[in-house]
Amino acid sequence: MTALAQRKIVLGVTGGIAAYKSADLTRRLQDVGAEVRVVMTPAATQFVAPLTFQALSGNPVHLDLLDPAAEAAMGHIELARWADLVLVAPASADFMARLAHGLADDLLTTLCLATDAPIVLAPAMNRLMWRNPATRDNVALLQRRGIRLLGPTAGSQACGEVGEGRMLEPLEIVQALSEEGAGQGRLAGRTVLVTAGPTYEAIDPVRFIGNRSSGRMGYAVAAAARRAGARVLLVSGPSQQSTPPGVERIDVTSAAEMYRAVMDRLGEIDIFIGAAAVADYRPAQAANAKIKKDAETLTLALERTEDILQAVAMQPRPPFTVGFAAETHDLERYARDKLARKKLDMIAANWVGGETGFDSVDNALEVFWADGHASLGRQSKDKLAEQLVDLIAERYHAKHSA
Ligand code: PMT
């Protein structure tokens, strides 16, 4: 069974010569077991007849927002709710501009506004239109909102020019969606960013301030989120753990690098999980050369690092934000305080300094959110991560359906 089997996909077709490829795409999606309903913009119908899509998908094609007969059969809100995934292929420059600016002037844009299913676009347009600053800005805006793009690719174009702007081939689109696990699992179609491991703060070129985090907990969480169907980005400090299958790993060393790596990807993510043991302080001035042992004592001036978790949670439109808390005493009091003070959606607190926590195989977590609590008893970090991701998925969906 592929990641797309039994998934309900609204295939939006907008006006462009690549619309003919979407007929094949409909078939390819069905071949891997997806259920497809097609929505066409008025411009798309100038390129391919709706009847083609009706025959291929086996369902009536949805064309008009204001068609009482079509609305009676399956209204646009119903269609928006029905979808596990909205795939727009080809996505024209005009459609992306209207989507970026929240217009709801046809059935497809209205449906995109009304759905909470993930939206994926496969752009197709002339290379200069793709390069145009207006299109670049619209693409950046859409990506910041979590809308994903597949392609375009470079090659010869219908207009006779050669360059970037060709829609991906139907098989490539199906493959990309299948690989991302879009549409399957509790976190299907969501992007999760996990931080893991320690950070190293340079004292001089050969010495650093670090901690005992192995990365095991964060890597286990990343693997569990991937198994739950999410696209997973793992921002990792120095760690010997191997990258879980299907997870995109970004290596960093210091807190400042981890902060940058997270901030650069904020626009792509739905859920942030901070499992890293980020240094709270770093040497105010790292020496350029190895420090010699001339003096009897050495005093290092330290300065605060960036608080990554807080920076994520304080965004105007933050992702669902989960922090960890590593405590040696008063676990619940400190965890609840961090939950409220940093405006987190959830916090997973662990006892450290004994047999669990840093660099251990087992761990135990007390998980808190505004109106709830769960105790996840001592077990392997892999099993614990599975349960934590279940809880996160449940709270994430509860928040988004509220
Ligand atoms: O890696 P392992 O060996 O498997 O160990 C797992 C672990 C014990 C490291 C992990 O379970 C854990 O508790 N991680 C968080 C450790 C920590 O730094 O806790 P804290 O209470 O100091 O920080 C609270 C939260 O703020 C954490 O989510 C942390 O990632 C985040 N933080 C802290 C400082 C900072 N500058 N930026 C941050 O984002």
| Listed range (15-24, 70-79, 90-99, 245-254) with the worst mean pLDDT | 70-79
For the chain, which residues make up each domain, given as ranges?
8-182, 191-401
- Residue 323 beta carbon below 6 angstroms from any ligand 1 atom: yes
Q: Sheet holding 119-123: strands in order across?
A: 35-40, 8-13, 85-91, 119-123, 148-149
Q: Which of 17, 114, 159, 286 is catalytic?
A: 159
Q: Where are the alpha helices (DSSP H) in 194-278?
A: 216-227, 255-265
Q: Where are the alpha helices (DSSP H) in 132-254?
A: 133-144, 170-180, 216-227
- Residue 267 beta carbon below 6 angstroms from any ligand 1 atom: no
What are the residues whose beta carbons fall under 8 Å from the beta carbon of 379, sequence distance 6 or more?
362, 363, 364
Give how far Cα 398 sits from Cα of 86, 321, 391, Å: 21, 14, 10
Looking at residue 163, its pLDDT comes to 80
CA distance 284 to 305: 10
CATH number given to 8-182 = 3.40.50.1950
What's the average model confidence in pLDDT over 305-331? Answer: 97
What's the average model confidence in pLDDT over 287-315? Answer: 96
Tokens at residue 64, please? 């008009």
Tokens at residue 301, please? 């001036």
- If you search the block for the tokens 């992007």, which residue do you land on? 191
pLDDT band at residue 161 using 50, 70 and 90 as cut-offs: confident
Strands (E), 298-371: 302-304, 320-327, 346-351, 362-369
Pairing, β 281-283 against β 153-156: unpaired
Quickly name the fold that domain 191-401 has: Rossmann fold (3.40.50)
| Ligand 1 binding pocket mutation candidate from 234, 305, 324 (most atoms within 8 A of CB) | 324
Q: In ligand 1, which atom is closest to the CA atom of 306?
A: 36
Looking at the chain, the whole-number percentage of residues with pLDDT higher than 70 is: 97
**Residues 272, 262 contacting (CB under 8 angstroms):** yes
Query: pLDDT tens for residues 206-246?
Result: 999 999 999 999 999 998 998 888 999 999 999 998 888 77
Nearest CA to ligand 1 atom 5: 358
Query: pLDDT tens for residues 194-204?
Result: 999 999 999 99
**How high is the mean pLDDT of the chain?**
92
pLDDT band at residue 1 using 50, 70 and 90 as cut-offs: very low
pTM (2 d.p.): 0.63
Residues in the chain: 402
Domains 8-182 and 191-401 belong to one CATH topology: yes
- Residue 322 beta carbon below 6 angstroms from any ligand 1 atom: no
How close is the Cα of 245 to the center of ligand 1, in Å? 23
Looking at residue 182, its pLDDT comes to 47
Q: In ligand 1, which atom is closest to the CA atom of 196?
A: 1
Give how far Cα 145 sits from Cα of 102, 120, 123, 297, Å: 12, 12, 17, 52
